[in-house]
């Protein structure tokens, strides 16, 4: 380390290539070799080709964090607007899923190939992965059922009531919660938020952060723990299989069970 020159400090010529007429770095003005692709003093790329290579290797963290922030902020803003205007019809509930779909589509376009890879068919899911997914989902279902029994405020009773009042049947509720919601939320959270965070935080950090943000956006502190668990299961599925579809499937099954449970309780 001691022999390393300070970044930006011009070096003395050390070889015939480093004559007084040798080119200088475009950033720190240190002398460099004619054919150098990077500056030896500051590491800056010296050609458009090297710059493109550098960008491909070192992702733009601020941009990825901004995309992740947008994927969190837009659904949050929608939830807050719905709180202000008041949810008077099931159409308002679909609005937040619509925002998630827009966030998902926009994010996939902005993040490029790594995010769009999630639209491919799944591969590489091991028996251990399947077992962990089932165990995690069952644990979350048990937690939701226990909370529902102990603390009625955590159930989806109010939402089910909204469907009943609007004259919608169980089929409509199941379509909204076990088809529309998983597609929209998986696109936004695992398709965009998770993938944007992977380059910023690494895989483990991104999995936990996306799961915590997923739980946060549900605006239910009591359900926070099992929503985090679900978020981890869905994120691990996305990374293990390289696809969003297994997560959508498990998310849909989970939501269908919860919807049936709440519907039965409300109809009795």
83 binds other proteins (CB under 8 A): yes
- Taking the complex as a whole, the smallest distance from the CB of residue 58 to other proteins amounts, in Å, to 5
Provide the mask over 191-230, with x wherever binding to other proteins is found by CB under 8 A and - wherever it is not.
Answer: ---------xx--xxx-xx--xx--xx-x-xx-x------
Selected from 67, 70, 72, 160, the binder of other proteins by CB under 8 A is 72
Selected from 61, 109, 119, 134, the binder of other proteins by CB under 8 A is 61
Pick the stretch among 52-60, 105-113, 142-150, 229-237 that binds other proteins (CB under 8 A). 52-60
Nearer CB in complex with other proteins: 71/181:
71
Selected from 19, 21, 35, 267, the binder of other proteins by CB under 8 A is 35
Selected from 26, 40, 101, 164, the binder of other proteins by CB under 8 A is 40
Site size for other proteins (CB under 8 A): 51
- Taking the complex as a whole, the smallest distance from the CB of residue 223 to other proteins amounts, in Å, to 10
169 binds other proteins (CB under 8 A): no
C-beta neighbour count of 64 within 10 angstroms: 20
| Residue appearing with tokens 């790329």 | 45
C-beta neighbour count of 160 within 10 angstroms: 22
53 binds other proteins (CB under 8 A): yes
The residues that touch other proteins, with contacts defined as CB under 8 A, are 1, 3-5, 7, 11-12, 14-15, 32-33, 35-43, 45, 50, 53-54, 57-59, 61-62, 65, 72, 76, 80, 83-84, 153, 200-201, 204-206, 208-209, 212-213, 216-217, 219, 221-222, 224
């Amino acid at each position: 380390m001691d022999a390393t020159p300070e970044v930006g400090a011009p070096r003395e010529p050390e070889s015939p290539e480093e004559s007084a007429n040798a080119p200088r770095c475009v950033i720190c003005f240190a002398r460099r070799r004619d054919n150098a692709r990077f500056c030896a003093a500051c590491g800056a790329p010296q050609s458009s080709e090297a710059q493109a290579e550098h960008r491909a290797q070192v992702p733009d963290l601020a941009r990825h964090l901004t995309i992740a922030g947008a994927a969190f902020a837009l659904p949050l803003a929608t939830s807050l607007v719905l709180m202000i205007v008041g949810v008077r019809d099931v159409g308002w509930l679909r609005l937040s899923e619509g925002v998630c779909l827009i966030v998902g589509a926009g994010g996939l376009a902005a993040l490029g190939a790594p995010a769009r890879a999630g639209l491919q068919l799944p591969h590489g899911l091991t028996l251990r992965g399947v077992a962990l997914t089932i165990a995690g989902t069952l644990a979350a279902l048990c937690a939701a059922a226990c909370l529902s029994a102990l603390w009625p405020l955590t159930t989806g009773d109010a939402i089910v009531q909204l469907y009943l009042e609007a004259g919608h049947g169980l089929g409509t509720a199941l379509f909204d919660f076990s088809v529309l919601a998983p597609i929209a939320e998986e696109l936004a959270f695992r398709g965009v938020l998770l993938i944007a965070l992977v380059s910023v935080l690494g895989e483990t950090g991104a999995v936990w952060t996306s799961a915590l943000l997923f739980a946060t956006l549900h605006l239910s502190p009591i359900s926070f723990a099992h929503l985090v668990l679900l978020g981890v299961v869905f994120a691990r599925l996305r990374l293990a299989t390289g696809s969003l579809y297994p997560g959508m499937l498990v998310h849909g099954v989970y939501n269908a069970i919860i919807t049936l449970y709440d519907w039965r309780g409300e109809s009795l």
